[in-house]
Chains A and B, each alone.
Chain A
Amino acid sequence: MHNQPNSRRRSLLLAAGAAMATPLGIPMLAHAQAGEDIVIGGSIPMTGVFAFAGVGINAGIADYVKIVNDAGGIKGRKVKYVGEDTGYKVDVSVATFKKITSQNKVNLYYGDSTGFAKTINPELDRNGNILMAGASFASELNDPKKFPNQFLVGPDYTEMFGILLKHIAKEKPGAKVAFVYSDSEFGRDPIERSEAEAKKLGLSVAIKIMTPAGSVDVSTEVIKLRRAAPDYTIFHGYILAPIPEFISQGKQQGMKSKWMGTFWTMDSSTVMKMGEAGDGFMGVMPFRYYYDTEKAPMLEKIRALRPTYQSTAYIQGFLAAMLFLESAKRCLDAGKPLTGANLKAGLNSLKDFDTGGLIGTPITIKGNSIPVGRVYQADMKAQKMLPASDWIKL
């Protein structure tokens, strides 16, 4: 009579023991199995507010890794990509980093936010074996001294403004510019330095308007903007809302401004959601769009792999993986071990590097960013973003 509950309890204990041992034991096992693979880890926001980007980034990295592995890997070494969802939360991103790095010998890492990039930086410095890039274009990260093991897959936010301002100064010298930005770290990032940059280029900043990130009612701000009568209005720190509201109300009130955005607003699908208000909307894009017709062998490969439209976040993930593995290749070519410093040196040795057309001009990476971009403009009839400038290098 006693045997049954006893054995049940014993099985329960065994099961609990196994459950405890599995998560604790897996890391050691996985470590042993990691072998000589080149490992890319990723804290990717596949749920939450940035899921729209994370899904594309994840696919972009995975596809490039597949292309490289299908071609035999890097100097005979296979590439392994381990990405996990973070929900765009810093604590989860760090947990993901810890998990992936304790289960794999990670060489390269993709992070999901500025907060994560800043939080994990001391760990990267301490670890010394990882080069990291990510979804953040924060100007603060563009400092090789403070962030020696990180880089941005494109221009930082201040550089994005710089590219737009350079375009404006060329198109309409002495133009009046307005900055509309969100009350967040993301929004405020480039404003102060860009104001100085505008003055240097002979432009005047007519007004700066800060709004809550997801604000809906912007009527009072539009009135202020109309009074300032800018020739160009640059939005930053938003994905979509409240940009369409600003534009449609501004147009209704007779504003003649040209409307512009930065990277996270500029995906084709995002701009097309603006509807009529988005016609003629311009902005800076560091990469080619999926459907660009200019010669780009890598885009052709992507289109062959995925016949439907892929977001600019996908291109960003794809390019990040390309730069990661190019750095690793250069390291291995030079017979150096894959440490953070060597990988970064490999990245910084890129001079007039051809990205296969993902960026329409050869790139050189001196520091932590790729200060190149192009101004694109929305054509609502064609439902496409079309080039409005040549590639602008800072």
Chain B
Amino acid sequence: MRIGTFKESYVADATLFDSRTQKMWLAIAGALLLLFPFVASDYWLYLACLVAINVASATGLNILTGYTGLVSLGQAAFMGLGAYTVAILQTRWNLPFAVNLLAGGLVAMVGGIVVGIPSLRVKGLYLAIATIAASFIAHFLFANLAITGGTAGISMPPAQLFGMELDTSFRLYWLIVPVTIVMLIGAANLFRTRIGRAFIAIRDRDISAEVLGIPLLRYKLLSFGLSSFYAGVAGGLWAYFFRVVTPESFPLLMSIFFLAAIIVGGMGSILGGILGAVFMTMVPELLKLIVDLLPGGSEYTVFLSPVRTMLFGLLIIGFLVFEPLGLAEMWRRIRRFFHLWPFRN
């Protein structure tokens, strides 16, 4: 049973990682992340990079939807803005990837702020529709502007670090995973600041927040901006990862994917964004592995593929019905069990 975790000061209360056990597990997780590329196959490295990109974008959406209570179906469009910015800067001016990623985030941030303007007047489904409109506008621009390469899109060279091309999943891992970790730490810290608290206040009751002196428009736009910045950087990482950006790379379905990820993972929780993105990316792949392990699995691929898709859908529905607070809540329950163990009752 875990004991001795009571807090004696405000600083201790606001600490990001508050116990030795937690720090130890984080160190283990960090060590595993460092070790992973050396033991995993190319396939698992690819999935790890994809998961990390999705975690970054889902965390961005979680800031907006989970913490500020503003629904958005435009996350993929903002990722597209980031990806195109990176691709254009890389192919035209060959700037360093760090500059490109930052620029991608900033351009997406500006896009997010513009799209967020209606958020003061409209909420819920209405806002969702406004953000869908943004997706269509972004798609139109991607497909029709000369600078974006039209429908054929842009093929780009790999990112370079000290003259070394980051062209394999192994090498990209060292770019994508650290950037995602920095973004996660940034997001976790955000909610220990006045800005993050304001976001939560707006989510819980925006009128009360305004009465408390929180300027709604400013903070809502800030939330949109930050969320889109995350999406833009994730889109930039996506561009370096796939090295081809086309208007069809960021469909509306992708925005729904991220919304589903934070719902399944647990809204308003950093861990929820991580678990949701991991779940949504990995479960279809794990279901494939299970199908492969079945006797004669590969011979029945045609029949088992739709079953796998349905099973994935059922799993999501199952989570929503039986655990509406998401995977993060399940994780909390598991932790509680071990905290109290062996006194389970």
Determine the distance from Cα of A52 to Cα of B251 in the docked complex, in whole angstroms: 21
Q: Determine the chain B residues whose CB is within 8 A of the CB of A27 once the complex forms.
A: 41, 43
Complex: how many Å from CA A171 to CA B298? 49
Chain B contact patch, size range: 35 or more
Tell me, rounded to whole Å, the shortest Cβ–Cβ distance linking B57 to chain A.
13
Residue pair B284, A102 in contact (C-beta under 8 Å): no
Query: Which residues of chain A (57-82) have a CB below 8 Å from chain B?
Result: 58-59, 82
The residues of B that contact A99 with a CB separation of less than 8 Å are 43, 285
Interface membership of B289, Cβ < 8 A? yes
Per-position binary interface string of chain B over residues 217-253, scored 1 when its CB falls under 8 Å from any chain A CB and 0 otherwise: 0000000000000000000000000111011110000
B158: Cβ under 8 A from any A Cβ: yes
Residue B44 is within 8 A (CB to CB) of chain A in the complex: yes
Instruction: Name the residue of chain A whose CB is nearest to the CB of B40.
Output: A24
- Known interface pairs A47-B306, A84-B288, A119-B242; A185-B152 also in contact (CB < 8 Å): yes
Contacts of A140 in B (CB 8 A): 152
Cross-chain contact A91 with B50 (CB below 8 angstroms): yes
A6 to B289 Cα, complex, angstroms: 30
Task: Indicate if the CB atoms of A95 and B158 lie closer than 8 Å.
Answer: no
Q: Is A201 an interface residue (CB 8 A)?
A: no
Q: Is the CB of B242 within 8 A of A94?
A: yes
Q: Does B91 contact A (CB under 8 A)?
A: no
Q: With an 8 A cutoff between CB atoms, is B329 at the interface?
A: no
Q: Is A145 an interface residue (CB 8 A)?
A: no
Asked whether B15 is an interface residue with its Cβ less than 8 Å from the other chain, the reply is no
> Among the listed A47, A84, A98, A188, which residue makes an inter-chain contact with B151, where contact means beta carbons less than 8 Å apart?
A188
On whether the beta carbons of A92 and B284 are closer than 8 Å, the reply is yes
> Is B341 touching A5 in the complex (CB atoms < 8 A)?
yes
Task: Give chain B nearest CB distance to A131 CB in angstroms.
Answer: 19
A334 and B128 alpha carbons, distance in the complex (Å): 62
The answer, yes or no, to whether B18 is at the interface (CB within 8 Å) is no
* Contacting pair B309 A122 (CB below 8 A): no
Say yes or no: A85 contacts B301, CB within 8 Å.
yes
**Chain B residue nearest to A46 in the complex (CB):** B305
Q: Does B203 contact A (CB under 8 A)?
A: no
A55 interfacial by beta-carbon distance below 8 Å: yes
Give the docked Cα–Cα distance between A188 and B150 (Å).
10
Q: Is A23 an interface residue (CB 8 A)?
A: yes
A119 and B153 CA atoms in complex are apart in Å by 11
Contacts A23-B44, A87-B309, A185-B246 given; indicate if A118 touches B155 (C-beta within 8 A). yes
Whether A95 and B301, one on each chain, are in contact in the complex, defined by CB atoms closer than 8 angstroms, is: no
- Given known A99-B43, A184-B151, A188-B151, contact A119–B244 (CB-CB < 8 A): yes
Contact with A along B156-171 (1 / 0, CB 8 A): 0010000000011100
For A58, give the chain B residue with the smallest CB separation: B302
CB of B309 within 8 A of CB of A47, answer: yes
Residue of A nearest to B169 (CB): A98
In chain A, positions 8-53 with a C-beta closer than 8 Å to chain B are 23-24, 27-28, 44, 46-47, 51
The answer to whether B46 touches A94 (Cβ under 8 A) is: yes
Do A185 and B248 touch (CB < 8 A)?
yes
Contact string against B for A residues 95-124, beta-carbon threshold 8 Å, 1 for contact and 0 otherwise:
100110111000000000001001101100
B47 at the interface (CB under 8 A from A): yes
Q: Closest residue to B285 on the A side, CB-wise?
A: A95
Q: Would you call A90 and B242 a contact (CB within 8 A)?
A: yes
In the complex, whether A300 has a CB less than 8 A from a CB of chain B is: no
B13 CB within 8 Å of chain A: no
Q: How far is the CA of A98 from the CA of B150 in the complex (A)?
A: 29
CB of B249 within 8 A of CB of A115, answer: yes
Residues of B within 8 A of A47 (CB): 305-306, 308-309
In angstroms, Cα B40 to Cα A185, docked, is 35
Known: A115-B244, A185-B151, A185-B248. A102 touches B302 (CB 8 A): no
Smallest distance from the beta carbon of B302 to chain A beta carbons, Å?
5
A2 and B43 within 8 A (CB): no
Q: Say yes or no: is A162 at the interface (Cβ < 8 Å to chain B).
A: no
Question: Assuming the A-B contacts A27-B43, A94-B46, A115-B244, are A55 and B302 also in contact, with contact meaning beta carbons closer than 8 angstroms in the complex?
Answer: yes
A200 at the interface (CB under 8 A from B): no
Contact A84:B242 (CB < 8 A) given known A95-B46, A184-B248: no
Q: Are A118 and B298 closer than 8 Å at their CB atoms?
A: no
Shortest beta-carbon distance, A244 to chain B, in Å?
A: 25
Partner of A119, one of B243, B288, B298: B243
Cβ of B39 within 8 Å of any chain A Cβ, yes or no, is yes
Within the assembled complex, what's the spacing in Å between the Cα atoms of A84 and B244?
23
B301 pairs with A23, CB closer than 8 A = no
Name the contact of A85 in the complex, choosing from B45, B242, B246, B308 (C-beta under 8 A): B308
Q: Which residues of chain B from 182 to 198 have any CB-CB distance to chain A below 8 Å in the complex?
A: none
A68 to chain B, nearest CB (A): 17
Q: Is B210's beta carbon under 8 Å from chain A?
A: no
CB pair B41–A24 under 8 Å, yes or no, is: yes
Closest Cβ neighbor of B288 among chain A residues: A84
Do A122 and B167 form a contact, CB below 8 Å, given A98-B46, A101-B42, A185-B152?
yes
Looking at the assembled complex, report how far the CB atom of B9 sits from the nearest CB atom of chain A, in whole angstroms.
Answer: 35
Q: Does B110 make an interface contact (CB < 8 A)?
A: no
List B contacts of A90 (CB < 8 A). 242, 249
A185 touches B342 (CB 8 A): no
Whether the pair B167, A126 counts as a contact (CB closer than 8 A) is: yes
Contact with A along B293-311 (1 / 0, CB 8 A): 0000010011001101100
Check: A134 CB closer than 8 A to any chain B CB.
no
| Cβ-based interface call for A183 (8 A) | yes
- CB within 8 Å of A: which B256-309 residues: 284-285, 288-289, 298, 301-302, 305-306, 308-309
- A83 lies within 8 A of chain B by Cβ: yes
B95 on interface, CB distance cutoff 8 Å: no
* Residue of chain B at shortest CB distance from A44: B301
17 intermolecular pairs with C-beta atoms under 8 Å apart: A44-B301, A46-B302, A46-B305, A51-B305, A51-B306, A58-B301, A90-B242, A95-B50, A101-B43, A102-B41, A102-B42, A103-B41, A118-B153, A122-B167, A122-B243, A183-B143, A184-B151
User: Which B residues fall within an 8 A CB radius of A?
Assistant: 39-47, 50, 143, 150-153, 155, 158, 167-169, 242-244, 246-249, 284-285, 288-289, 298, 301-302, 305-306, 308-309, 341-342
- What 10 pairs between A and B have smallest CB-CB spacing? A85-B305, A185-B151, A27-B41, A99-B43, A102-B41, A98-B43, A46-B305, A98-B46, A102-B42, A102-B43
- Not counting A24-B44, A85-B301, A184-B248, a sample of 15 additional A-B residue pairs whose C-beta atoms are within 8 angstroms of each other reads A2-B342, A5-B341, A23-B289, A24-B41, A27-B43, A55-B302, A58-B301, A91-B50, A102-B42, A102-B43, A115-B244, A115-B246, A184-B151, A185-B153, A185-B247
